[in-house]
Amino acid sequence: MLEQGLTYTTTTTVTEEKTAKTMGSGTLEVFATPAMIALMEEAAYKAVQPHLEEGMGSVGTYLDVKHLAATPLGMTVRCEATLIEIDRRRLVFKVTAFDDSGVIGEGKHERFIVNNESFMAKTNAKNIR
């Protein structure tokens, strides 16, 4: 059952593949903002997925995130997502990312609960035009 307060934490190590230089979001070998956002989305969807009915999932629709500090190669990044609001199919999360030195990013992330089959059918219908 979905309820406010559900939390999930996920971690990753900053590798060359997750740097701004490699991901194309900058020129430095530091943890990329797109990699941080992906980690935040992962934590949010994993927080709720076990509580959804079979065949249901969630899709990200909105992010309001600040990347506050750089993280070097080799360091671990941890992200916590906490479900703070439920409005029918709309879910809002507080997301926070940390490295060994403290908070590196924070914000809100919104997801919508969808029927996976219907969602994919509608999406794939775009190719028929």
- Over the chain (129 residues), the average pLDDT of each successive run of 10 is 96 98 98 98 98 98 98 98 98 98 98 98 88
Q: Are 66 and 107 in contact (CB under 8 A)?
A: yes
Active site residues: 33, 41, 67
CATH no. for residue 70?
3.10.129.10
Q: Is residue 111 part of a domain?
A: yes
77 located within any domain: yes
Q: How big is the chain, counted in residues?
A: 129
What kind and span of H or E run contains 83? strand 76-87
pTM: 0.95
Give me the residues paired with residue 9 across strands: 80
- Which positions ≥6 away from 123 have C-beta within 8 Å? none
In a domain, 117, yes or no: yes
Total of domains in the chain: 1
Residue range of the domain that includes 83 = 7-128
Residue 101's H or E segment, with its range, is none
Note the pLDDT of residue 1.
85
> Could you say which DSSP state residue 25 is in?
S
Q: Does residue 1 belong to any structural domain of this protein?
A: no
